Amino acid sequence: SLPPPTIPAGTRLEPTTFGVMSSFYEVLVKCLGHLTSNSINCYLMCLFFYFRDRKEWADLEPVPQDDGPNPVVKIAYSEKFTDVFDMFRALLKNDEKSERAFALTAEAIDLNAANYTVWHYRRVLLQALDKDLREEMNYVTAIIEDQPKNYQVWHHRRMVVEWLNDPSEELQFVAEILSQDAKNYHAWQHRQWVMQEYKLWDGELEYVEELLEEDVRNNSAWNQRHFVINHTSGYSDSSILDREVQYTLKQIKKAPHNESAWNYLNGILQDGGLSSYPGLLEQVTELQDTCSSPYLTAFLVDLYEDALETNSSSYDQQEMLSKALELCKFLAEEKDTIRREYWNYLSRSLQNTYGSGDPVSASSDPPPPPSSSQQPDMEPSDP
């Protein structure tokens, strides 16, 4: 009787990029494995047909990767990976600009979308073959949906948008991606580029507010808020600044432990000075009962520091310093101990700059062994 049908060990039959479920094929292959298991039958089963076996590629000799005789960091590529990239290297070597080359770049991208050399080559082909850029937009849209955290895909999209000089789909597309991950850095980068390049500022503040409504802790949205206002009205107009301060305080009251809102409040008041904004100290102090948080306390420290720095006559300088030091101690010892070193440093700094009396010692810890520590003369000289 016949030996039982087997598939040779190590045979890997992979589905094509047409999205077929591999498990179905594993079953099918097991059933049919006793008939054949070479790559021609893979083709018959619509499984992956290696480029090296395709007759339309027969004229091109694949170029194996030159890793040398004793490779390091050698990756155990799959058969398919090797096949595609051997053929890619052949195309590159001949500088071939053809439809089949273009088709192969899609296979290569599918295997490793981070291969920037392939993307570059694809762009060369797009131009050389005068390919339909609208179709290319569809293609890159699909790839980005699948792999939204990859640098190359977004850069490619940007290039196509530039060639088409058509940003009309961009804001909607980015919004789609952000609806899946509201903080995708590449997405925000693309969005900011589109807006600046094509001057598409309308409606963005409204969009930001929608996002903040969904998640008031979305720091990317707070950053976008700053970006939009900076590039449109700016913050120097007092009615704009008031609107922003009020908006931010409102968000703080909703979620007092939201660091983004506190950082934004600080950020927009830096230029004018925290201690110069009328009534702010009172408003924030009032919040202490219901909205206390380490962020509130830190904000007060910043406010006191600003009063000291500007030597504001509206405040008692001595009081500002003693309050600031008291809060730094409170943060370091109780409410924000993870930042103990920083709050203690800030304390010493304030004392040193604004205090009168003895210079402050840096640390109560035993000093390190006597050495040239903290002396810059051993540093490499500046170029």
Partner 1 sequence: MEKASPPLRCFRESHSSELFSDDGVQTVTSREQRKVECSIQEVYSVYQQIHTSPQPALLREQHYHYLKKGLRHLSDAYECLDASRPWLCYWILHSLELLEEPVPAAVASDVCQFLARCQSPTGGFSGGPGQHAHLAPTYAAVNALCILGTEEAFKVINRERLLDFLYSVKQPDCSFVMHVGGEVDVRSAYCAASVASLTNIITPTLFDGTHNWILSCQNWEGGLGGVPGLEAHGGYTFCGTAALVILGKEHMLDLKALLRWVTSKQMRFEGGFQGRCNKLVDGCYSFWQAGLLPLLHRALFKEGDSTLSESSWMFEREALQEYILLCCQNPVQLFHRTHNYMHIYIYIYIYIYIIQSISLGTNSMTFYLFLTQSFTHLVYKILIKVHT
According to CB under 8 A, which residues from 169 to 208 bind partner 1?
182-183, 185, 188-189, 192, 196
Least distance to partner 1, CB of residue 82, Å: 10
Q: Which is nearer to partner 1, 8 or 380 (CB)?
A: 380
Neighbour-count burial of 76, counting CB atoms closer than 10 A to its CB (0-12 exposed, 13-18 middle, 19+ buried)? exposed
Least distance to partner 1, CB of residue 246, Å: 18
Give, as ranges, the residues between 257 and 296 that touch partner 1 (CB under 8 A).
257-260, 263-264, 267-268, 270, 293
Residue 228 near residue 211, CB atoms below 8 Å: no
Q: Which residue has the tokens 């001949």?
A: 94
Q: Which is nearer to partner 1, 30 or 340 (CB)?
A: 340
Of the residues 54, 120, 131, 323, which one makes contact with partner 1 according to CB under 8 A: 120
Helix (H, G, I), strand (E, B) or coil at 224: helix
Of the residues 112, 233, 276, 312, which one makes contact with partner 1 according to CB under 8 A: 112
How does 48-62 read in b/e, with b if 16+ C-beta sit within 10 Å? bbbbbeeeebeebeb
Least distance to partner 1, CB of residue 307, Å: 16
Q: Which is nearer to partner 1, 41 or 189 (CB)?
A: 189
Q: Which residues contact 37 (CB under 8 A, 6 or more apart)?
A: 7, 8, 11, 29
Cα separation, 341 vs 339, in Å, equals 6
Of the residues 2, 21, 35, 76, which one makes contact with partner 1 according to CB under 8 A: 76
Query: Does 116 help bind partner 1 (rule: CB under 8 A)?
Result: yes
Cα separation, 331 vs 340, in Å, equals 7
Nearest to 228 by CA among 188, 269, 266: 188
Look up residue 382 and give its two tokens: 């500046």
Binding residues for partner 1, total number by CB under 8 A: 94
Cα separation, 250 vs 261, in Å, equals 9
Q: Which is nearer to partner 1, 5 or 234 (CB)?
A: 234
Q: Which is nearer to partner 1, 5 or 367 (CB)?
A: 367
Query: Does 383 help bind partner 1 (rule: CB under 8 A)?
Result: yes
Least distance to partner 1, CB of residue 234, Å: 13
Question: Is residue 149 annotated as a catalytic residue, yes or no?
Answer: yes
Catalytic hit among 93, 149, 254, 329: 149
Of the residues 33, 148, 256, 272, which one makes contact with partner 1 according to CB under 8 A: 256
Give, as ranges, the residues between 214 and 233 that touch partner 1 (CB under 8 A).
214-220, 223, 226-227, 230
Neighbour-count burial of 347, counting CB atoms closer than 10 A to its CB (0-12 exposed, 13-18 middle, 19+ buried)? buried
Cα separation, 231 vs 195, in Å, equals 10
Look up residue 371 and give its two tokens: 């050495």
Please identify every residue annotated as catalytic.
149
